Amino acid sequence: MNFHLDDAQKALVALADRLGREEFAPKAARWDRDHEYPHENVETLRRAGLLGMTIPKKFGGPERPLIDAVLAIEQIAKYCGVTARIVVETNMGALGCVMAYGTEAQQREIARRVLDDGDKPAIGMTEPGAGTDLTALKTNAAECDGSYIVNGTKHWITGGGISRTNLIFARIVDRDGNDQGIGGILVDKGTPGFSFGRVEDAMGLRGIPETELIFTDCEVPAANIVVRDPKDGFKKLMNGYNAQRTGASAVALGIAQGAHDLAVEYMSRREAFGRKLKDFQGLGWMTAGSEMKLEAARLLVYRAACNARHLANNVMLPHMKEASIAKAFTAHEAFHVVSDALQMFGAAGYSRDLPLERMLRDVRMFQIGGGTTQAQLNMIARGVFAAR
């Protein structure tokens, strides 16, 4: 396996790095402080062709491989985790599920919204009573005269209230009241019966709202069903989510790389006891440890993206075990890399004047959101035993 980048990928990395450094870094503290969604960054990303990179050519997208999206996400995350997450959700997540399993009309419409309008589709799985144990979800979509009536509550939904497109995981109930298992249905913002509740006062990544979605007898056209498959519906939705996990890993990796770069630069100029910090062997070993963690995480994230297979509809989706290994390892190590980078700055690292404390709060999320580390470990173990 080799990860040599071709010329187009090198140009993409350079573009994402430049946008991150020049456009996104100077404003990153603002989204965090003001709890504000970075609409202007979305437009910059859209114009630069970084939204919908994975969308097939037949829907107007550039149809780039998943690894290209991962490369761009990693670069942007060095400077602004919130903006990098928007690149994840406009290339993976709900978009990936619809591209893999939706109808052609749904695919065409979601592609148009992402590419032309910069819509960031939201994915609504988690409920107050169903987090890791998603199969306990209670939101249901009951078939009735050519439509579905959705009832239930989701919470911690990234971009809830901002996103026009919302892919909702729900228990599908047929006309006769029979449970058809967990499926996916698209609900547009503005649909009567669809409202927004509490916005979480989150620890980090505060530029994107984490919102409660409330469905009260919300009538949705039958044409909005993305997945309805009593046997494999949940499995399909989870397959689609493996791409999102790989993207989330790339954000964690990028945040950690950004913090590490800042620390290396600072250690080369800060002096104590008449020496540069970099000349203390103990600090050099901390730096070497971070470098190893980053390199190992990068290999796992790139592997998950490069090994993505055409599972459905010509859409590349990563393998469950590889995506989970990348996510569990990267989220854990990235947190420690950022914490060690902050340590190099002493008191200054603990101040809001520098981005380190924000990066530490931001990177902590990846051990929880997108499936907790424990959930990833369960899936890895399942993969290990299934292979025997």
Per-residue b/e over 91-106, b at no fewer than 16 CB within 10 Å?
Answer: bbbbbbbbbbbbeeeb
CB-based contact 148:142 (threshold 8 Å)? yes
Q: How far is the CB of 151 from ligand FAD (least distance, A)?
A: 17
Helix (H, G, I), strand (E, B) or coil at 4: coil
Residue 158 engages ligand FAD in binding (rule: CB under 6 A): yes
Interface characters, 169-208, with ligand FAD (x: CB under 6 A): ---------------------------------x--x---
Among 125, 185, 213, 226, binds ligand FAD (CB under 6 A): 125
Residue 368 engages ligand FAD in binding (rule: CB under 6 A): yes
Give Cα separations from 54 to 57, 110, 163, 199, 362 (angstroms).
Answer: 9, 12, 19, 30, 25
Residue 361 engages ligand FAD in binding (rule: CB under 6 A): no
Q: Which stretch binds ligand FAD (CB under 6 A): 73-81, 231-239, 322-330, 363-371?
A: 363-371
Q: How far is residue 319's CA from residue 274's CA, in Å, rounded to a whole number?
A: 51
Q: How far is the CB of 125 from ligand FAD (least distance, A)?
A: 3
Residue 132 engages ligand FAD in binding (rule: CB under 6 A): yes
Q: Give the list of residues 6+ apart from residue 377 with CB closer than 8 angstroms, or none.
A: 324, 328
Residue 123 engages ligand FAD in binding (rule: CB under 6 A): yes
Q: 312 exposed, middle or buried (CB, 10 Å; 0-12, 13-18, 19+)?
A: middle
Residue 374 engages ligand FAD in binding (rule: CB under 6 A): yes
- Closer to ligand FAD at the Cβ: 263 or 375? 375
Residue 121 engages ligand FAD in binding (rule: CB under 6 A): no
Q: What single string gives the DSSP state of each residue in 212-280?
A: EEEEEEEEEEGGGEEE--TTTHHHHHHHHHHHHHHHHHHHHHHHHHHHHHHHHHHHTT-EETTEEGGGS
Among 28, 69, 71, 157, binds ligand FAD (CB under 6 A): 157
Among 131, 181, 193, 289, binds ligand FAD (CB under 6 A): 131
Instruction: Please give the residue ranges that form the binding site for ligand FAD (CB under 6 A).
Output: 123-126, 131-132, 156-158, 202, 205, 210, 365, 368-369, 371-372, 374-375, 378
